Structure 1
Amino acid sequence: MLIRFEVSNYRSIAEGVELSMVAVDRDREAARDAPRLGESLLTRAAIYGPNASGKSNVVAALAWLRHAVENSLRLWEDRIPLEPFAFGPTQGGCSEFVIETTVDGVRFEYVVELDAHHISYEGLFHYPERKRRRIFEREGSELKLQRGLGALSGTRELLTERTLALSAARRFDEPLVTNFAREVLNIQVLGQLPHLSRAGGIFPWWGSYHHKTDTFLWFDGLENDQQLLVPFVGKGEAAAGDEGRDWSTLSGRQQALALLRLADLGIEDVVIDRQEFVSTDGGTVTQRRLRLLHRSGNESAPLDFAAESEGTKTWFGLIGTVLTALRAGSIVIFDELDASLHPTLSAELLRVFQSPVTNPHGAQLIFTSHDTSLLNHLNRDEVWLTEKQPDGSTRLGALAEFAGERVRKSQNLESAYLHGRFGALPQVDQTEFLRALGLIG
């Protein structure tokens, strides 16, 4: 599980900002005990703030780090695809990323400092007995390894000034490295977050459509693949037709269907069949066809997926990602949750990640939103606020400790936020607009 993430000098982020998943209020479902830390970790975190305040950049930085670990060895030949803060004293300096997670209950810490041309520092540490121990540490081209990790010696041969040691070291059979790297690579992204292409460029990526294929696999007869099964435990509320069933007895397909029905979209089943059509060269082509079976009164009829509403497509598209995260206990980043889902569905998604019944392995949902109604489903330590500073940089603050004053646990968060109690609201001034229209002098 993610403990904390820190980033500096990235896009609108100048000085370091930190997102912490350590719970303030520990005795509740969404706070999972981490005995070896002596803390509880949260399964949900929401980031609120005005447009252009940088909330998307906070989660984009975490997505960027995942991309870096996966691709630096293969793709970073000429330059490092990094967007530093464009103004002020940090311009031209190094960007820094720090991530702390638990792997099998043990705390790991990974730090990297780099610019567009080279990696200046990198280190991976763990705390097997609450005392920090180095796994590897790298300054420039010099790499130091923990004693006894001879399996990683080949890492040095793969290093370049633009290759992460973690990317190279994960190629070798050393569980300390591969298990941590897997934790980072399991991070999944949904929503409208700009993503990095294989060539390192930025392009807008609509995650709900992209992940339709992932959901497709859960319905396409792969429910017997143990890697796709989510080991739900205990009993809890499921969707219509599954009430009172033990989720641990459901196949992967049944779990996906239960999550689809949870949205109450009038869908009974998912039909995947084959359709033949004549190609331009006169040959016959067979293609899989996806249809959703809708009920209407006493009748049911399949509807082509392309004809479904955007809301239904979005919910369908996220099912594979969510179930995979619940199975692995991994992180899901969802940018602009309210732009993709109806508030009722967003609230259901929060409940899925909150409950130990549906989320027994501590998967974590980190999302940005403008939907203040969701604040009624969140605790004070699950909410973070961004503001745009005078120099254009992003400030990130925890609502639980807003302005140095602890927010009461009983506080009505939505009402207080909308009344400006926590700041982080758009500053609306129509003076220039009205003057441009000639309506005022």
Structure 2
Amino acid sequence: MLIEYRVKNFKSYKDEVVLSMVADKNRELAETNLFKQGSMTLLKTAAIFGANASGKTNFIESINFLSQLMKPKTDVTELFSEIPNFKLDASSIHKPISYEITFFLGNQRHRYGIELDKEGICSEWLYFVPKRQEACYFERERNEITNTGSYFEERKALDYIKPDSHRPFLFTLGQDSVKQFEWAKRILRYLRFYIKSSSIPDSVYYNMIREELLEDNNNKTISKEDIVSILRSADTGIKDISFIKEIRSPEEKEMLNNIMNILRASSEKTIEDEKYETVMHHNKFDDNNSLIGEERFPLESESRGTVKLYALQYPILQVLKKGGILLIDEIESSLHPLLCEKIISLFNSKDTNPKNAQLIFTTHNTLLMHPKLLRRDQILFTEKNNYGASTMYSLYDIDLKVRNNFNYLNNYLSGRFGAIPYLSSFGFSTEDNGVDADEG
């Protein structure tokens, strides 16, 4: 479970910003939107609002960038070739990007941080809380391990395990070939597999859903019943789904293999010659509206919203059933506001979220800014100043006298919370330049 995430000097975030999933001391929606982990009370969801180009997507991308560092098939040479730090002043481009993530793994709290620049990794640190006090696993400066705590144990391994200038030392310690450090493997697995992003092509998720549903084993995370139930509940008119086998072209096979190699770093699977078309089943009626059978349509012929919902089910069901963190940029993309509410409610429900998975999403949909759906500490704002630097703050941080009928939406749109665009008139020339439209 995520406790806190910090990032500095990444794209529009010149100064450090903090996303805290620690609940503030108020009782708003406490029975649904919060959960206890040890002595801490954490949020299940966090919603990031803000104007276009205020930094919402950049924040999600910063977590994705950190996650990429932990994946074995990431081309680190390419990753470090163009470091995405803040570039709108004279000095930040020469400073490192800094990350720190604090999280629970089981019942133990961990704090991991890393700084990097175009030359490689500048520093790295890992701490955890075995009992009451925080203890050090290791600290690193460039290619030298400068400190190892008593819990590191196998210090002799450092005679032959050396830091890589472009790989986290945590990544090195967590490799299967290194037998001594099981704790590193667990932490690496968390950072690699339990932080999921929805910002990958929908077609890849179709493939993942199809693989899961057609796989012949009893350990499936996703079932056909799950998928169909959500599609039916969303009023899509879909009654069932199935897959039709086809032959994949060599070009398509190569393209999908390249994508899957990047996104599924843990898997040795390759794309097969055979492919499956996903089809959706709809009821068919006669002229008297009596049911006479069904009609099947390719998934691509469904509405954009239906296609998006189908693809999103893979990461949503994965984290709800296994635990972890799901990042969704622009959750409202092609989805109705009521459907977005339903997705958020899946995470806030004890029945559908027994593992206390967490959802972090960005949105322009101000209808989601509702006190019956989100607490004030779950509503975050991004704002960019005149110098191109983004900041982030919580609605709970704003000094408000909240009444029972307090309207978040109206107060936000009126500018009371900031984080809205201040628009001037959209002026453009209406003069005829003498060029005929057909000729131009």
TM-score past 0.5 threshold:
yes
**2:318 matches 1:324:** yes
Determine helix, strand or coil for the equivalent of 2:54.
coil
Alignment map for 1:91-170 (pairs within 5 Å): 91-143=93-145, 144-147=147-150, 149-150=152-153, 154=157, 157-170=161-174
1:279 and 1:396 map into 2 onto residues whose CA distance is: 46
**2:230 matches 1:229:** no
**Quick one: structure 1 residues 104 and 304, their matched pair in 2 at CA, closer, same or farther if it must change by over 3 Å?**
same
2:350 and 2:403 map into 1 onto residues whose CA distance is: 22
In the alignment, which of 224, 237, 240 is matched to residue 253 of structure 1? 224
Determine helix, strand or coil for the equivalent of 2:132.
coil
State whether residues 227 and 310 of structure 2, in contact with CA within 8 Å, keep that contact through their aligned partners in structure 1.
no
Q: Partner letter of residue 95 of structure 1?
A: I
**Match in the other structure for 2:52:** 51
Determine helix, strand or coil for the equivalent of 2:310.
helix
**Quick one: structure 1 residues 225 and 146, their matched pair in 2 at CA, closer, same or farther if it must change by over 3 Å?**
farther
In the alignment, which of 336, 344, 349 is matched to residue 350 of structure 1? 344
Q: Partner letter of residue 189 of structure 1?
A: S
State whether residues 138 and 152 of structure 2, in contact with CA within 8 Å, keep that contact through their aligned partners in structure 1.
no
**Which digits, 9 at most, give the CA deviation of each residue in 1:229-257, with x for residues without a partner?**
37xxxxxxxxxxxxxxxxxxxxx332232
**Which digits, 9 at most, give the CA deviation of each residue in 1:205-230, with x for residues without a partner?**
x54333222222343255x432x337
1:138 and 1:279 map into 2 onto residues whose CA distance is: 45
Aligned length: 391
Q: Partner letter of residue 163 of structure 2?
A: L
Q: Partner letter of residue 354 of structure 2?
A: P
**Match in the other structure for 1:363:** 357
2:428 and 2:312 map into 1 onto residues whose CA distance is: 45
Unaligned runs of 5+ in 1: 192-205, 231-251
**2:195 matches 1:187:** yes
Q: CA shift at 1:362, angstroms?
A: 0.9
**Quick one: structure 1 residues 287 and 215, their matched pair in 2 at CA, closer, same or farther if it must change by over 3 Å?**
closer
Alignment map for 1:362-381 (pairs within 5 Å): 362-376=356-370, 377-381=373-377
In the alignment, which of 235, 257, 263 is matched to residue 234 of structure 2? 263
**Quick one: structure 1 residues 296 and 221, their matched pair in 2 at CA, closer, same or farther if it must change by over 3 Å?**
farther
Q: TM-score if structure 1 supplies the norm length? A: 0.82
Q: CA shift at 1:52, angstroms?
A: 0.8
**Match in the other structure for 2:278:** 290
Q: CA shift at 1:330, angstroms?
A: 0.8
Q: CA shift at 1:348, angstroms?
A: 0.9
**Match in the other structure for 1:41:** 42
1:330 and 1:409 map into 2 onto residues whose CA distance is: 34
Moved more, 104-113 or 290-299: 290-299
**2:420 matches 1:425:** yes
1:160 and 1:277 map into 2 onto residues whose CA distance is: 39
Q: Partner letter of residue 130 of structure 1?
A: R
2:247 and 2:121 map into 1 onto residues whose CA distance is: 52
State whether residues 3 and 22 of structure 2, in contact with CA within 8 Å, keep that contact through their aligned partners in structure 1.
yes
Q: CA shift at 1:146, angstroms?
A: 3.1
Percent of aligned pairs sharing the same letter: 26
Q: Partner letter of residue 419 of structure 2?
A: A
Q: Partner letter of residue 288 of structure 1?
A: Y
Q: Partner letter of residue 221 of structure 2?
A: L
1:152 and 1:274 map into 2 onto residues whose CA distance is: 54
Q: TM-score if structure 2 supplies the norm length? A: 0.82
Unaligned runs of 5+ in 2: 252-272, 286-290, 432-440
State whether residues 209 and 313 of structure 1, in contact with CA within 8 Å, keep that contact through their aligned partners in structure 2.
no
**Quick one: structure 1 residues 265 and 437, their matched pair in 2 at CA, closer, same or farther if it must change by over 3 Å?**
same
Alignment map for 1:389-408 (pairs within 5 Å): 389-402=385-398, 405-406=399-400, 408=402
**Match in the other structure for 1:334:** 328
State whether residues 386 and 394 of structure 1, in contact with CA within 8 Å, keep that contact through their aligned partners in structure 2.
yes
1:357 and 1:214 map into 2 onto residues whose CA distance is: 25
Alignment map for 1:12-23 (pairs within 5 Å): 12-23=12-23
**Quick one: structure 1 residues 109 and 406, their matched pair in 2 at CA, closer, same or farther if it must change by over 3 Å?**
farther
2:324 and 2:403 map into 1 onto residues whose CA distance is: 28
State whether residues 379 and 409 of structure 1, in contact with CA within 8 Å, keep that contact through their aligned partners in structure 2.
no
**Quick one: structure 1 residues 7 and 407, their matched pair in 2 at CA, closer, same or farther if it must change by over 3 Å?**
farther
1:353 and 1:78 map into 2 onto residues whose CA distance is: 36
Determine helix, strand or coil for the equivalent of 2:4.
strand
Q: CA shift at 1:130, angstroms?
A: 2.8
Determine helix, strand or coil for the equivalent of 2:6.
strand
